Amino acid sequence: MASEVSICNRALRLLRVQPISSLDEDGEAAGWCAETYGDARDALIAEYPWNFATRRAALPALAEAPTWGFARAFQLPGDPERCLRVLRLEGEPEEEVLPYQVEGRRIVSDEAAPLRILYLARVVDPTSFPPLFVEALAARLAAEGAFHFTGSTSREAQLNELYDRKLALSRRFDAQEGSAPGIVADEWLRSRL
């Protein structure tokens, strides 16, 4: 089972730095991990529509409408599963994509409430991460800390290459879990089947 400490220790081993017991312990490595881990995790989640972080919500309209441009405002989901990135709004029919704008922690749109959204949530429980995401996150942390801990730009480049490989592998496996979105059977396609 992955934990914040085990993920940080994977990164520290790649950096050839002594592992830590806790993010709260004294020392440069623990302090760096405590400072960097959450931001790196959130950035990696927001970067790609990971299956484990994808959520759906139906948002009620806020009482205060936007001053101009759109008819309604909706509050984005907050903690514990804070919205890191809106992927799309769902319309009636399913295939329709609706216009909207994210402004701060709100969505503005002309759509009626409830506003159905698909979004990426901040997932803080490392036991929810797929194994390949854990590897990609550890490689990202190592790449981010490479110059800080080693002072070597060549080691930084090596770890960035490792991160790119781990990220590509993780994305590839994540993309295989489910049917491809956005494929709509039209008359031509149905006639060929």
60-99 confidence digits (pLDDT tens): 999 999 999 999 999 999 987 899 999 999 875 556 677 8
- Sequence ranges of the domains in the chain: 4-48+130-175, 52-121
Distance between CA 46 and CA 122 in Å, rounded?
Answer: 8
Tokens of 32: 């760096």
- Region 26-38: mean pLDDT is 96
Q: What's residue 177's pLDDT? A: 86
Residue 183 in this model has a pLDDT that exceeds 70 = no
Half-sphere exposure of 80 (CA within 13 A, CB side): 3
For residues 81 and 94, is the Cβ–Cβ distance under 8 A? no
CA 172 to chain centre: 15
Q: What is the pLDDT of residue 192?
A: 64
Listed residue (100, 107, 101) closest to 74, CA to CA? 107
Q: How confident is the model over 11-15, as a mean pLDDT?
A: 97
pLDDT tens readout for residues 131-169: 999 999 999 999 999 999 999 999 999 999 999 999 999
Rounded percentage of the chain residues whose pLDDT exceeds 70: 89
What residues have CB less than 8 Å from 184, skipping those under 6 apart? 95
What is the amino acid identity at position 56?
A: R
Which pLDDT score is estimated for 117? 94
Angle CA 23–154–139, to nearest 5: 35
Q: What percent of the chain has pLDDT over 90?
A: 83
CB under 8 A, 24+ apart: contacts of 37-43: 37/4, 37/7, 37/8, 37/141, 38/124, 40/137, 40/140, 40/141, 40/144, 41/124, 41/137, 42/84, 42/122, 43/140
Q: What is the pLDDT at residue 129?
A: 97
Query: Two tokens at 163?
Result: 């991160």
Per-residue model confidence (pLDDT) at position 98: 79
